A = this chain, B = another copy of it.
Amino acid sequence: MESNNLLNSVVNEIIDQLKLNTINESLLDSSIYSINAGGKRFRPLLLLQTLETLGTDINLGIIPAASLEMIHTYSLIHDDLPAMDDDQLRRGKPTNHVVFGEATAILAGDNLLTESFNLLTKANLTATQIVELVQLYSKNAGQLGMISGQMLDIEATNKDLTIEELEEIHRNKTGELIVAAIEAATIIANSEAHIKKLLKIFGEKLGLLFQITDDILDVIGTTEALGKTVGSDEKNKKNTYVSLLGLDGAKEVKNNLRSEMFDILNELENDINISILEELVESIVNREK
């Protein structure tokens, strides 16, 4: 899979959707600014890699991947707002509201969320598949997922959490969209029920692995490699896996997750091409930034 080319196609789909007969320049500039601010594009990449794993034409996933990235980006814009986390920088660039003002940032977020569903309806899939994708994205991004995660996160500010409470926040705030990427691929591929079920569990563990790796890197990574200030979690008294379990404890949970994910993939080795997802797990386990 030529990931860079594919991710360019994903981003171009988003830009095309946003530029389509737009009425207001500020809204357009603000929406595109945050899309172009980049990041790892982890969710669209995961969707496409899962499609490849399932032996399905990756091109069918471009629009659904673009739609998911729009939802992710809207959530970052709103999370950064002064009333929320009040962040001035994201990925080394000024946040949306710092550049465009709060009103425009709120509307750009609303816009990306709304247009994500519009774009999704244009996917080259059956109407039934599109309805399933709308249902999946709105469920996992809604009050049973991402939005509740953000609420729980806000309510947890300056409180000491248990490890279960911390996991509930992460499972909702970041995990549900990661699961959505994987489930979307199984919808596009018309996968059998047992494959869907196992890959969903795989996705839930992937979300936690992703977060715990972040928390560990915040402590042991180098500022240069990460592009952000190392130790910021501790400075901000943020509850993390490391603050709750210690560095060794967090690493142990990470290793256990890795083993469990490989066990799931082994169960699927007769059905799908698991090597792509194996590599994905290892790349997260070993990442240094």
Point out residues on A near B: beta carbons under 8 Å.
18, 20-24, 26-28, 31, 74, 78, 81, 83-84, 101-104, 106-107, 109-111, 113-115, 117-118, 120-121, 126-128, 130-131, 134-135, 137-139, 141-144, 147-148, 150-152, 154-155, 172
Asked if A152 and B24 sit within 8 Å, CB to CB, the answer is yes
Determine whether the beta carbon of A143 is less than 8 Å from that of B113: no
Separation in Å of the A63 CB from the closest CB of chain B?
Answer: 13
Q: Which residue of B lies closest to A19 (CB)?
A: B143
Jot down 18 A-B pairs with beta carbons below 8 A, ordered by A.
A18-B143, A22-B143, A23-B143, A23-B151, A23-B172, A24-B143, A24-B155, A26-B151, A27-B147, A103-B154, A110-B110, A110-B147, A111-B143, A117-B117, A120-B134, A121-B131, A126-B127, A127-B131
Identify 14 new A-B residue pairs, CB closer than 8 A, beyond the known A24-B148, A81-B106, A126-B127. Answer: A20-B144, A21-B144, A22-B148, A23-B148, A24-B151, A26-B155, A83-B101, A83-B102, A104-B154, A114-B138, A115-B138, A115-B142, A120-B134, A121-B135
Closest to A142 in B: B114
Which residues of chain B have C-beta atoms less than 8 A from A109's C-beta? 110
Q: Which of B114, B128, B142 contacts A118 (CB 8 A)?
A: B142
Q: How many copies does the complex hold?
A: 2
A144 and B23 form a contact (CB under 8 A) = yes
Q: How far is the CA of A102 from the CA of B78 in the complex (A)?
A: 11
Q: Find chain B residues with CB under 8 A from A120 CB.
A: 134
Interface centre among A31, A130, A137 (most CB of B within 10 A): A130
Q: In chain B, what residue has the closest Cβ to A121?
A: B135
Given the interface pairs A23-B152, A148-B24, the reply to whether A114 lies near B134 with Cβ below 8 Å is no
User: Could you tell me the distance in whole angstroms from the C-beta of A228 to the nearest C-beta in chain B?
Assistant: 23
> Taking CB as reference atom, which chain B residue is nearest A20?
B144
